Chains A and B, each alone.
Chain A
Amino acid sequence: MKEMSYKEMGLLEQEYEQIIEILGRQPNYLELGIFAVMWSEHCGYKNSRPLLRNFPTEGPQVIQGPGENAGVVDIGDGQALVFKIESHNHPSAIEPYQGAATGVGGIVRDIFTMGARPIASLNSLRFGNLDDERVKQLFSGVVAGIGDYGNCLGIPTVGGEVYFNPAYQGNPLVNAMCVGLVNKEEIAYATASETGSPLMLVGARTGRDGIHGATFASEELSETSQEKRPSVQVGDPFMEKLLIEACLELIKEDLVAGMQDLGAAGLTSSIAEAASKKGRGVIVDVSWVPRRETGMIPYEIMLSESQERMLIVPREGQEGRISEIFDKWGLDATVIGEVTDDGMFKVFEGDVLVGAVPIEALTEGCPVYVREGIEPPYYREYRDFNIDDLPECDAGEALSKLLASPNIASKKWVYTQYDHQVMTNSSIVPGDADAAVLRVKGHQKGVALATDCNGRMVYLDPYQGGMMAVCEGARNLACVGARPLALTNCLNFGSPENPHIYWQMQEAIKGMSKAAKVLGTPVVSGNVSLYNETADGAIFPTPVVGMVGILKDIDQRCQMAFQDEGDLIVLLGRPREELGGSEYLFVCHGIEKGAVPELDLAEEHNLIELLVSIIEAGLVKSCHDISDGGLAATLAESSIKGSTGFNVDLDFKGIRRDKILFSEAPSRAVISLDEKDLAAVKNASVQQGIEISLLGRVGGTSMIINDQGIELVNLAVQDAAKTWGEAIECHMK
């Protein structure tokens, strides 16, 4: 193997000097590798850590905030949800199927590492233009990879999102989220090790897979990324399934003092984590590590990112019972080292000490860069773009075009490839509502889940866009009747070394933090993926939000489909006219500019309260928030889902009709209800200070939108359903 320089490993000159200073000598190759991966952005968060401190992370519901393998929130009855979202963007760009599959594998390990049974997966995906052949390959490879891995594990993939935009052409985003359920007293933590405790490695044998994957994930994608291909990891979901069952058995029997999955930076980072309690050290002997390939050197063994491995710190005297359980599942567990008390990370190969570094230097000692963001010139220019100069498109045609846009069209091509029903908890399945709903067997409550982020909005205004992502997540939960509890997030950005990108990060995080505070949904876990750019530029800043919430009574859950002929259709929230950043401008005018719609957090909060209260009270027959495609698309989707038409008359007050129909301004939802419940809903709206307007009625076989009696849109539901339902499939044929 050709040796890499510190630069090739992603270290800066000053960082290299710092290492020499810490060690008091030159690092050897192994030590250099250890520093490089631990100090990569992916493991060390050196560019993002100061910004992440803005996030609110506390609340009465929070059992565990950021810092462990995943966040934990209380859902009552002695139960908790464990969840996190993580990126696998770079590996997926190189090998979409395996990259996405191992992304799922990684996040699932984070969840059962905490002692929780994984109960649901979600994913948030971004690709370039779907007309492009390479994009199609990436898209189908990623979806198949996510599906095959999760399906094999028997974890339902219940939700997510997919967007297509040229900004992601060379750099797709693959973010995977997993949610687990645990009894509070069974939560397991990574760092519970005592001096003398053995370290057991279990699962797959170690090969040369993914060496320097963490470093690689912290670089821009370039021509030479292709050459780094040998580092591609292959997933083995069957092995992972065995690990889940075996590890959860260990937890049930209370046999482990600490458990840690092997993810980015492999053995190196998991061992450092397991021993990161103050003053602890560790020795590990690489010759004890079971290997798949011959001739591996310590450097390769310590840095390998072979998948489906776990590190276990047994409770005293429990090694025997632990081995029995692993044996039952056909897994081999091997002791590879032990916890010491000298604060050093020592690597042996047999009797020979081949590397020694202070553990603290790897973790707390990771350099941190506080950078300065600079507002990019495009920001003001685009914000001030005057939409009034654009011609107005025919409303009916525009709506048809929007329904055919892959960003708005049905995602059924995606989610039919995911087993979304295994575990028999899925009470609202993908496509039927703004969030997925799972029952919790033996309880009346339900769990609601959603992921959200509109990258274009964040690009045009990172602060507003960041708020919007959090608000949309919370609103999506409220639309099914769930109270939002907490969130996880994956910050996908370009290079932080570019001050314009750093500004995007700063602003987006500020906006997200503010929204999370006001909505009372603390950030309990997350992941950062930087350097998402190619020679053609950076991606849209895409801070994906994964939100979890609780329904008090799952029998009151609400879906988006219109139900019965004659039901009233009501808009909750203000009629709005801001078109900036909308899919309408993109699809009908080819423009991605404009001022992002204003967002009032108090208003959003009140809308959420209102939605939850009227749905809990059983007053609502369907609910769907207004987002991509605006009011018109929201109405159309509820209509298609319900296989019934509608007739609404909007009061345009002389305002451009495309503005009213297609504005993506937040804090709004369209509900349908029985006429007898209108008074009660009105009452509740008044109490929350949310504007309410009666739009029309459900019924017929056409979607009809009028302006004071003048017909603007008249689409047959059947035709619209076909357009919307088959758009993605048509691209993929």
Chain B
Amino acid sequence: MKFGVVVFPGSNCDADCYHVVKEVMNQQVEYIWHKENTVDGFDALILPGGFSYGDYLRTGSIARFSPIMPSVIDFADRGGLVIGICNGFQILLEAGLLPGAMLRNSSLKFICKSVYLKINRADTPFTNRLKVDHVIRIPIAHGEGNYFCDENTLQSLKDNGQILFSYCGADGEESPEFNPNGSLANIAGISNLKGNILGMMPHPERCSEEILGGRDGFYIFDSMINWLKEVGK
């Protein structure tokens, strides 16, 4: 099983994702430079966090024109697993692979801290090792993670079960008090309708080893691997 980590100029969680896949998950992994134009041979793609193109203009807005993106889109259209983490999520939004857009955090400040997420579905390629209504603890680190979409889109996200993760309290309470950035409906991560693309603001790669204070993120990567083993192939 081979993962690809797409590297844009300004990506800075690329090495972190690579490390987790290789050293923690014991899977094959390679970097994919943004100027490449094929993703042949990969089973899953990671669009890592960071500040592609300095986050200039809008987060992800310039990266989405990178030469690699048509292949990423094609790979996704064919049902390939694509996970966008933080800046990767923002790029997926700009590229139209996921609906909606990101606004600045309501506090107008960059926020780096651990938050709690409620798992809304456990039958997806990204959450099958987790349990519905379970709460996981995971770090966020972003200045623009305030998810926005229009009412119809929000309704369809809800109706179709595309909101995989929502911000919540330690006991799963989903009130505005536990919304770190102003996201609509406490949205922390969404998938596309087909379920093979996930965008999430929190960083699972930062909590996949005990030495970093927690392992909840491990299960997201493990879900992907499990899915590829069981279903994907």
Contact = CB atoms under 8 A, between A and B. Distances in A.
A153 B23 CA distance: 24
Contact of A238 (B13, B51, B213): B51
Contacts of B50: 154
A421 B203 contact: yes
A144 interface: yes
A422 B9 contact: no
Interface stretch (B109-117, B147-155, B181-189, B190-198): B109-117
Given A423-B15, A441-B19, A152 B112 contact: no
Given A144-B109, A417-B112, A236 B205 contact: no
A424 B205 contact: yes
A147 interface: yes
A350 interface: no
Contact of B110 (A148, A154, A239, A441): A148
B51 A147 contact: no
Contacts of B23: 441
Contacts of B16: 422-424
Interface string A719-732: 00000000000000
B64 interface: no
Q: Which of A416, A426, A555 has the largest number of chain B CB atoms within 10 A?
A: A416
A354 B99 CA distance: 59
Contact of B211 (A152, A238, A422, A427): A427
B54 A236 contact: yes
Contacts of B174: none
A196 interface: no
A329 interface: yes
A237 B51 contact: yes
A554 B211 contact: yes
A554 B209 CA distance: 14
A468 B139 CA distance: 36
Interface in B207-229: 209, 211-213
A118 B12 CA distance: 12
B212 A152 contact: no
Contacts of B55: 152
B13 A422 contact: yes
B59 to A, nearest CB: 11
A241 B211 contact: no
Interface string B7-37: 0011011011001100100000000000000
B1 to A, nearest CB: 22
A154 B12 CA distance: 5
B53 interface: yes
B54 A238 contact: yes
Given A421-B212, A422-B16, A237 B54 contact: yes
B206 interface: yes
A55 interface: no
Contacts of A148: 110, 143
Contacts of A154: 12-13, 50-51
B110 A238 contact: no
B12 A422 contact: yes
A242 interface: yes
B9 A242 contact: yes
A176 interface: no
A416 B114 CA distance: 10
A147 B105 CA distance: 15
Given A238-B54, A416-B113, A424 B141 contact: no
A241 B10 contact: yes
A400 interface: no
A500 interface: no
A424 B215 CA distance: 12
Contacts of A421: 112, 139, 141, 203, 206, 212
A152 B10 contact: yes
Contacts of B206: 421-422, 424
Contacts of A420: 112
Contacts of B141: 151, 419, 421-422
Nearest to B19: A424
A439 interface: yes
A330 interface: yes
Nearest to A242: B9
Interface string B151-188: 00000000000000000000000000000000000000
Contacts of B15: 423
A573 B205 CA distance: 41
A239 B139 CA distance: 27
A418 interface: yes
A151 B9 CA distance: 15
Contacts of B205: 424
A419 B110 contact: yes
A152 B9 contact: no
B106 to A, nearest CB: 14
A239 B206 CA distance: 25
A151 B51 contact: yes
A303 B9 CA distance: 30
A421 B20 CA distance: 14
A429 interface: yes
A375 B190 CA distance: 67
B13 A152 contact: no
A330 B62 CA distance: 14
Nearest to A557: B211
B56 to A, nearest CB: 7
Interface string A200-243: 00000000000000000000000000000000000011110110
A426 B114 CA distance: 13
B190 to A, nearest CB: 23
A417 B110 CA distance: 5
> Which of A415, A416, A422, A441 has the most C-beta atoms of chain B within 10 angstroms of its own C-beta?
A422
A623 to B, nearest CB: 18
Q: Taking each of A239, A429, A439, A441, which has the highest tally of chain B beta carbons within 10 Å of its own beta carbon?
A: A429
Contacts of A417: 109-112
Interface in A319-335: 329-330
Contact of B51 (A241, A426, A441): A241
A415 B49 CA distance: 19
Nearest to A426: B212
Interface centre among B16, B110, B209 (most CB of A within 10 A): B110
B58 to A, nearest CB: 14
A415 B112 CA distance: 8
Interface centre among B12, B50, B203 (most CB of A within 10 A): B12
Nearest to B48: A154
A329 B35 CA distance: 11
A439 B10 contact: no
A147 B110 contact: yes
A238 B26 CA distance: 32
A494 to B, nearest CB: 33
Contacts of B13: 154, 422
Contacts of B110: 144, 147-148, 151, 417-419
B109 A152 contact: no
A724 to B, nearest CB: 17
Interface string A124-150: 000000000000000000001001100
B211 A429 contact: no
- Greatest chain B CB density within 10 A among A144, A154, A329, A424 is at A424
Given A424-B212, A429-B213, A241 B12 contact: yes
Interface string A597-630: 0000000000000000000000000000000000
B203 A153 contact: no
Interface string A418-455: 11111110110100000000010100000000000000
20 contacts: A144-B109, A144-B110, A151-B141, A154-B50, A237-B51, A238-B9, A239-B54, A241-B9, A242-B9, A416-B113, A418-B110, A421-B112, A421-B141, A421-B206, A422-B206, A424-B206, A424-B209, A426-B212, A427-B211, A427-B213
Closest 9 CB pairs of A and B: A154-B12, A238-B54, A152-B51, A419-B141, A424-B16, A419-B112, A417-B110, A421-B206, A416-B113
Given A238-B54, A422-B49, 4 more contacts: A236-B54, A418-B112, A429-B213, A441-B23
